[in-house]
Amino acid sequence: MGSIENLRPDAGPSKRTAGATRGAAGTLTGAALPAAERRIERRPLHEEVIDHLRDRIVHGQLTPGARLNERVLCEQLGISRTPLREAIKMLATEGLVELLPNRGAIVTPLKAANIADTLAVMGVLESLAGELVCANATEADLAEVRALHFDMLAHHARGDLAGYFRYNQLIHLKIIEASGNPVLTNTYRQLNANVRRARYMANLSQERWDAAVREHEEILAALVLRDAVRLKRLLAEHLEHKVASVMAALGGGAALA
């Protein structure tokens, strides 16, 4: 995971022939589909770059405040500066990156105040989602949440924190998605990316972890019953605890390097 994966099969774009290497690698979709339905489809490079950089930022491999040197990244990814710069601009709009005119871009520093503000907004979004999901979720949605819940329990039982976090995220996102409001989903997802970075630094205590799992049990129960009032309250409390945990890790107001 820490290794640098080139987006292009041959690193270091050669003069005037780099374009010919497109479409040879694993970015193509539909390998498992029958030939008739297979869509030959190439994602634009800037999208690949965005996903790559977003991952590295969220997972903390690109640390807050770190500079994004265009030349270095180009070499690592085996692309030219144009798609890289487009990707950086988009990440800046998402808030994961900060543009310093004439001085490039840095990974947005993690400020406790900013995370707190973000979580406050996410709170009301979750509350709205709770209301909508009780009204709009299909039975299939609920089944999926339950399945994810058990996956999460499995990781918790094994003490696999990373796996737990992954399914925890998936559950929350699935609940938001099942609300049936795509704007809500996008907004939440975008804000969430910024918070996730902090999460990777917060060391969860076993007590807090166990408590979080219990809270999820209750959330699932309220969801299945489509008890909107109760669900909203549980989600709010759950987030409240998360805020406390993250804030404790970030240590009140200080910027994180």
Partner DNA sequence: TTTTTGTATTATGAATGCAAAATTCGCCCC
Partner DNA sequence: GGGGCGAATTTTGCATTCATAATACAAAAA
| Cα–Cα nearest to 5, from 85, 56, 76 | 76
Positions touching DNA (CB under 7 A) are 8, 13-20, 22-23, 42, 44-46, 67-71, 79-83, 85, 99, 101-105
User: Coil, helix or strand for 29?
Assistant: coil
CA–CA separation, 243 and 181 (whole Å)? 25
Q: Is 191 helix (H, G, I), strand (E, B) or coil?
A: helix
Burial of 220 (0-12, 13-18, 19+ CB in 10 A): buried
Binding to a second copy in span 117-146, by CB under 8 A: 117-118, 120-121, 123-125, 127-128, 132
Among candidate residues 255, 256, 127, the one with its CA nearest the CA of residue 188: 127
Among positions 8, 46, 156, 197, the unique one binding a second copy when judged by CB under 8 A: 46
* Phi, psi dihedrals of residue 147, rounded to the nearest 5°: -60, -45
Does 217 sit near a second copy (CB under 8 A)? no
Q: Does 94 bind a second copy (CB under 8 A)?
A: yes
Residue 26 binding result from DNA, a second copy, none, given CB thresholds of 5 to 8 Å by partner type: none
184 binds, among DNA, a second copy, none (CB under 5 to 8 A by kind): a second copy
Find the binder of a second copy among 135, 182, 244, 253 (CB under 8 A).
182
- Applying CB under 8 A, among 18, 92, 236, 249 the residue interacting with a second copy is 92
Q: ∠203-253-237 over CA atoms, to 5°?
A: 55
Asked if 85 is part of the footprint of a second copy (rule: CB under 8 A), the reply reads yes
In angstroms, give the least distance from the CB of 154 to a second copy.
Answer: 34
The residue with tokens 């009780």 is 134
* Size of interface with a second copy, in residues (CB under 8 A): 33
Dihedral angle of Cα 85, 87, 93, 94, to the nearest 10 degrees: -150
Cβ distance to a second copy smaller for residue 47 or 75: 47
| Residues found near a second copy in the complex (CB under 8 A) | 42-44, 46, 82, 85-86, 89-90, 92-95, 99, 101, 114, 117-118, 120-121, 123-125, 127-128, 132, 181-184, 186-187, 191
